[in-house]
Amino acid sequence: MELLKLENVSKKIKNKDIVKSISLTVNSGEIVGFVGPNGAGKTTTIKMIMGLFSLTQGRIAICGYDIQTDFEQAMKTVGGVIENPDLYLKISGRKNLEYFSSFYGEAAFKNIDPVVSLVKMSQRIDERMSSYSLGMKQRIGLAQALLHMPSLLILDEPTNGLDPIGIKELRETLKSLSKDSGIGVFISSHLLSEIEIICDRVYIINNGEIIEHRVLASDSSNPIKRYRFEVGETELACRYFEQEGMACQSGPGSVFAEMQRDAVPEAIKGLANYGVKLYSIELAQRSLEADFIDLTQTNDGQIF
Which CATH superfamily includes the segment(s) 2-215?
P-loop containing nucleotide triphosphate hydrolases (3.40.50.300)
pLDDT digits (tens, 9 = 90+) for 263-293: 899 999 999 999 999 999 988 766 777 778 8
Judge whether 248 and 242 are in contact, CB under 8 Å.
yes
Report the C-alpha gap between 98 and 29 in whole angstroms.
28
Alpha helices in the chain (DSSP H): 42-49, 71-75, 93-101, 106-110, 112-118, 134-146, 164-181, 192-198, 234-243, 264-273, 288-297
- Give the per-residue pLDDT at 194: 85
pLDDT digits (tens, 9 = 90+) for 181-195: 899 999 998 888 888
CATH 3.30.70.100 range(s) for the chain read 224-291
CATH 3.40.50.300 range(s) for the chain read 2-215
3-class SS string, 2-67: EEEEEEEEEEEECCEEEEEEEEEEEECCCEEEEECCCCCCHHHHHHHHCCCCCCCEEEEEECCEEC
pLDDT digits (tens, 9 = 90+) for 46-71: 999 999 999 999 999 999 999 999 99
The residue ranking higher by pLDDT, 183 or 259, is 183
The residue type found at 146 is L
pTM to 2 decimal places? 0.76
Return the CATH fold of 224-291: Alpha-Beta Plaits (3.30.70)
The arrangement of strands across the sheet holding 224-231 comes to 248-251, 254-260, 224-231, 278-283
pLDDT digits (tens, 9 = 90+) for 85-140: 789 999 999 999 999 999 888 999 999 999 999 898 999 999 999 999 888 898 99
Residues ≥6 apart with Cβ < 8 Å to 135: 160, 161, 162, 163, 166
- Give the per-residue pLDDT at 84: 72
